[in-house]
């Protein structure tokens, strides 16, 4: 029997924290009550928050220089499911798992679905991969996939996406995310308009095969792996494409896929306003698509993004149904610890955004009181909601302190024994 993080162990660990937690929770509750906020309602919101986990984020990632896998990391999909279950036990907001195909091609989808369900997990978005050649693949993606100049390559890439849809159906997934690395390294290499038209044609074929009730997400990215031009490079192009495709196509925002200093929260607001926001790949970055842990570099930006999301949620903007997912590469940390703290940072930003006095903010905006408008946001952002987050996890059966509980459980050491090195490891972004 594989070692698992037990609810009883988490409850036992929690007991050590309960005294101060109750005291801090009561205190923050009183402080918020003075501002007309109900701590119980906020706790309920924190418990209801959901973010999906990327199957590739459960293994150690790497850069184009090296990868440093740690002992006990998952060697196959079933072991990733075990780790996703451990993460869920700790934080209770991550029951959805997002699969990358063919990195995580299941041998038996029905068996995988059952294994996930047994652990309280389900499959969220599917992700296709046509940015790499796979062993035995007839045609190469070296010069692109869905937008390739050769119709045969495009067909192969479309077929791979259709395969993802079939697989996703068998797994009970609900959406499909397409990110392509297509682009050019040199001026003149790619005809911009023709490449985009070819990309759109391929997407039309994928969209036409979308199962009932599913949504199609497309993910833009400024550069990388192509260093001069990218076929789906920005949100404007993405918006054009999803409009061309139809009602069930949406633009996905990966926080690492923008030029430095771009106002991402404004892009989010635009996509909400136009009814085309798919959701997010959360991560953080300093320079590019760094795939660092959410909230680790620019927590204020994360808050401002959630400020737009919560604003739309409270206004009940029609059709607003964002899908949240983490998309990170854990190069130097334990993936479970990174995912646990990242999930927590998202809930933190979400709750802080709920603290914004929107009535006041609107008045300041209308009176052009720039200083007080910012202060209204800052007041929410600087409120410590930590005790609410911990209480929400505790009430949901999760850990008051996920990282210390995870470490105390000896989970990774046990897994190192159960998962000896040697077998080929295919995990993480490499």
Using the contact rule CB under 5 A, the part of the chain among 25-33, 248-256, 335-343, 385-393 near Mn ion is 248-256
With CA atoms as reference, report the closest residue to 239 among 201, 206, 272.
272
Contacts of 20 (CB under 8 A, 6+ apart): none
Residues that bind ligand RM4 (rule: CB under 6 A) add up to a total of 10
Q: What is d(CA 238, CA 175) in angstroms, rounded to the nearest whole number?
A: 17
- Binding of ligand RM4 by 174 (CB under 6 A): no
Residue 127 partner contact from Mn ion, ligand RM4, none using kind-dependent CB cut-offs of 5 to 8 Å: ligand RM4
| Contacting residue, 49, 141, 179, 306, with ligand RM4 by CB under 6 A | 179
Per the CB < 8 A criterion, the answer to whether 262 and 301 are in contact is no
- Binding of Mn ion by 327 (CB under 5 A): yes
- Binding of Mn ion by 220 (CB under 5 A): no
Residue placing its CB nearer to Mn ion in the complex, 258 or 281: 281
| Contacting residue, 104, 124, 254, 308, with Mn ion by CB under 5 A | 254
* Shortest Cβ 2–Mn ion spacing (Å): 30
Contacts of 321 (CB under 8 A, 6+ apart): none
Instruction: State the alpha helices, DSSP H only, in 119-176.
Output: 151-171
Residue placing its CB nearer to ligand RM4 in the complex, 43 or 94: 94
- Binding of ligand RM4 by 289 (CB under 6 A): yes
- Binding of ligand RM4 by 356 (CB under 6 A): no
Give the up-direction half-sphere exposure of residue 406: CA atoms within 13 A in the CB hemisphere.
Answer: 23
* Shortest Cβ 256–Mn ion spacing (Å): 5
Using the contact rule CB under 5 A, the part of the chain among 201-209, 279-287, 384-392, 402-410 near Mn ion is 279-287
Helix axes 411-418, 77-91, angle to 10 degrees: 170
With CA atoms as reference, report the closest residue to 251 among 157, 177, 192.
177
Q: Cβ–Cβ contacts within 10 Å for residue 3, how many? A: 15
Q: What is d(CA 22, CA 182) in angstroms, rounded to the nearest whole number?
A: 53
| Contacting residue, 79, 82, 124, 289, with Mn ion by CB under 5 A | 289
∠ CA 120-122-126, nearest 5°, is: 160
Q: Cβ–Cβ contacts within 10 Å for residue 11, how many? A: 13
Give me the residue whose beta carbon is nearest to ligand RM4: 179
Mode of pairing for the β-strands spanning 215-219 and 175-178: parallel
| Contacting residue, 73, 182, 327, 334, with ligand RM4 by CB under 6 A | 327
Contact mark string toward ligand RM4, 110..149, x via CB under 6 A: -----------------x----------------------
- Interface residues with ligand RM4 (CB under 6 A)? 100, 127, 179, 219, 221, 254, 281, 289, 327, 429
- Interface residues with Mn ion (CB under 5 A)? 254, 281, 289, 327
């Amino acid at each position: 029997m594989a070692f698992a993080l037990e609810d009883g162990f988490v409850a036992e660990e929690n007991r050590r924290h309960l005294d101060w937690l109750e005291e801090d929770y009561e205190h923050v509750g009183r402080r918020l009550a003075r501002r007309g906020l109900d701590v119980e309602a906020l706790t309920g919101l924190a418990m209801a928050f959901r973010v999906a986990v990327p199957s590739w984020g459960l293994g150690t990632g790497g850069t184009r220089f090296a990868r440093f896998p740690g002992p006990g990391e998952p060697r196959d999909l079933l072991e990733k499911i075990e780790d996703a279950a451990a993460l869920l036990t700790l934080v209770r907001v991550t029951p959805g798992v997002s699969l990358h195909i063919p990195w995580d091609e299941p041998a038996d989808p029905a068996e995988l679905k059952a294994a996930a369900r047994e652990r309280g997990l389900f499959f969220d978005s599917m992700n296709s991969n046509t940015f790499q050649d796979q062993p035995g693949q007839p045609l190469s993606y070296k010069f692109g996939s869905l937008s390739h100049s050769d119709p045969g390559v495009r067909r192969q890439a479309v077929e791979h996406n259709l395969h993802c849809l079939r697989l996703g159906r068998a797994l009970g997934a609900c959406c499909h995310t397409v990110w392509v690395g297509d682009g050019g390294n040199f001026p003149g290499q790619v005809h911009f308009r023709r490449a985009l038209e070819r990309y759109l044609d391929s997407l039309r074929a994928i969209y036409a095969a979308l199962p009932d009730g599913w949504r199609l997400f497309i993910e833009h990215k400024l550069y990388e792996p192509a260093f001069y031009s990218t076929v789906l490079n920005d949100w404007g192009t993405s918006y054009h494409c999803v409009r061309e495709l139809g009602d069930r196509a949406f633009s996905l925002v990966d926080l690492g896929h923008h030029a430095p200093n771009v106002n991402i929260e404004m892009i989010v607001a635009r996509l909400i306003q136009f009814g085309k926001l798919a959701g997010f790949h959360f991560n953080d970055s300093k320079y590019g698509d760094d795939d660092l842990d959410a909230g680790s570099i620019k927590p204020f930006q994360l808050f401002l993004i959630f400020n737009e999301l919560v604003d739309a949620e409270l206004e009940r903007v029609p059709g607003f149904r964002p899908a949240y997912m983490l998309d990170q590469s854990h190069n130097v940390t334990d993936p479970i610890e990174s995912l646990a703290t990242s999930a927590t940072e998202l809930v933190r930003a979400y709750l802080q955004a709920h603290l914004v006095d929107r009535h006041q903010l609107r008045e300041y905006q209308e009176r052009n009181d720039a200083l007080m408008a910012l202060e209204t946001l800052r007041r929410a952002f600087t409120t410590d909601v930590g005790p609410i987050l911990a209480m929400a996890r505790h009430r949901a059966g999760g850990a008051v302190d996920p990282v210390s509980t995870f470490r105390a459980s000896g989970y990774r050491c046990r897994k190192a024994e159960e998962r000896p090195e040697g077998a080929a490891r295919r995990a993480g972004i490499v």
